[in-house]
Amino acid sequence: MTNDTARPRALVTGASAGLGEVFATKLAKKGYDLVITARRKDRLEALAESLASSGAATEVIEADLATDAGVDLLVPTAGEVDLLVNNAGFGTVGDFAELPIERELNELNVNVRALMRLSHAALRGMTERGRGAIINVASTAAFQPIPHNATYAATKAFVLHFSEALHEEAKRRGVTVTCLCPGPVKTEFQEVAGVNESTVPAIMWTSAEDVVDSALSAMAVRRAYVVPGAMNVMTAMGGRLVPRFLTRKVAGAFFRDRAQP
Ligand SMILES: NC(=O)c1ccc[n+]([C@@H]2O[C@H](COP(=O)([O-])OP(=O)(O)OC[C@H]3O[C@@H](n4cnc5c(N)ncnc54)[C@H](OP(=O)(O)O)[C@@H]3O)[C@@H](O)[C@H]2O)c1
């Protein structure tokens, strides 16, 4: 059911922590009803309760986006909402050959396959209705290959290229697709990826609040992508000005010692 008269409805994946939780909170304050999803249902239920103070009706759907069955649970909702935020994702750090292949494949499933299926369902509904928006969360990792972070950077390169292409296809149909490319943000992401936070220069960090504000502003003015923070813009764009072999070497050097001891 599309909400024509009252509050618009947004589906936010990965809402049990970090950026997803901030997206849900800010959208509720902006007048959206929410469908929030992740694996940790207790966290989602606590968030749903806190969103009620903004007047938002919130539905909780527990789903593991590494599985087709988990994505199946969300496809019908994705087809109905006014805004889809494909935010769920995680990274892995280390030499690819030494990392467990099952986890790498799950990373591909969550970061790419789930995002692709939900974007497809959402775009079908939105283009038919002639309105709607999708925010796909990539990363500054999308702008270059990253040795020792190979799968993550490749999944985010997919998200950026895919989203930019969809942006062009959808805009003629009244639908906006915006790709968010944050640099480092203090969430549970580093702990999950096993990244040693102290190896990230202080100047690179952006707050989750600022990142989400940037995404919502970019969506409002129908931008194809946004990189929050001047330093992150410089690193993302800088890679385009130097030879490719150099970009990947520098990125690799930056990640070589990032794994937690
Ligand atoms: N933080 C950063 O430095 C940074 C930088 C650039 C881009 N990003 C991107 O920003 C997005 C949000 O990350 P974050 O920083 O907010 O990280 P976070 O705090 O670790 O949150 C990740 C969210 O994704 C969900 N998720 C992970 N695996 C899932 C699965 N198999 N099924 C369903 N949900 C799953 C988690 O929920 P459950 O564990 O409850 O399932 C959680 O809600 C990600 O796409 C990430 O790649 C983050």
The band of 195, judged by pLDDT with boundaries at 50, 70 and 90, is: confident
To the query of whether residue 152 is one of the catalytic residues in this protein, the response is yes
The band of 2, judged by pLDDT with boundaries at 50, 70 and 90, is: very low
Supply the pLDDT for residue 254. 82
**Rounded to the nearest whole angstrom, what is the distance from the C-alpha of residue 90 to the centroid of ligand 1?**
5
What percent of the chain has pLDDT above 70? 97
Give 204-244 pLDDT, tens digit per residue.
Answer: 899 999 999 999 999 999 999 999 999 999 989 988 899 99
* pLDDT over 80 (residue 191): yes
DSSP characters for 67-112?
SHHHHHHHHHHHTT-SEEEE-------S-GGGS-HHHHHHHHIIII
* pLDDT over 80 (residue 154): yes
Query: Is the Cβ atom of 87 under 6 angstroms away from ligand 1?
Result: yes
Query: Is the Cβ atom of 181 under 6 angstroms away from ligand 1?
Result: no
**Mean pLDDT computed over every residue of the chain:** 95
Give 15-46 pLDDT, tens digit per residue.
Answer: 999 999 999 999 999 999 999 999 999 999 99
Instruction: Name the nearest CA neighbour of 74 among 45, 37, 103, 99.
Output: 37
* pLDDT over 50 (residue 3): no
Query: Is the Cβ atom of 17 under 6 angstroms away from ligand 1?
Result: yes
Mean pLDDT of 165-171: 98
| Rounded-to-integer distance, Cα 17 and Cα 34, Å | 15
Give 96-144 pLDDT, tens digit per residue.
Answer: 999 999 999 999 999 999 999 999 999 999 999 999 999 999 999 999 9
Atom number of ligand 1 nearest to Cα 16: 43
Instruction: Name the nearest CA neighbour of 84 among 74, 92, 94.
Output: 74
Contacts for 198 with CB less than 8 Å, ≥ 6 apart: none
Query: Is the Cβ atom of 228 under 6 angstroms away from ligand 1?
Result: no
When the candidates are 3.40.50.720, 3.40.50.1100, 3.20.20.70, 3.30.70.100, the CATH number that belongs to 9-256 is: 3.40.50.720
Supply the pLDDT for residue 203. 87
**Rounded to the nearest whole angstrom, what is the distance from the C-alpha of residue 89 to the centroid of ligand 1?**
4
Q: Order the strands of the 175-180 sheet from edge to edge.
A: 58-62, 33-38, 9-13, 83-86, 132-137, 175-180, 225-226
Question: Beta-carbon neighbour count of residue 45 at 10 Å?
Answer: 15
Chain position carrying tokens 């220069």: 201
The amino acid present at 184, given as its one-letter code, is P
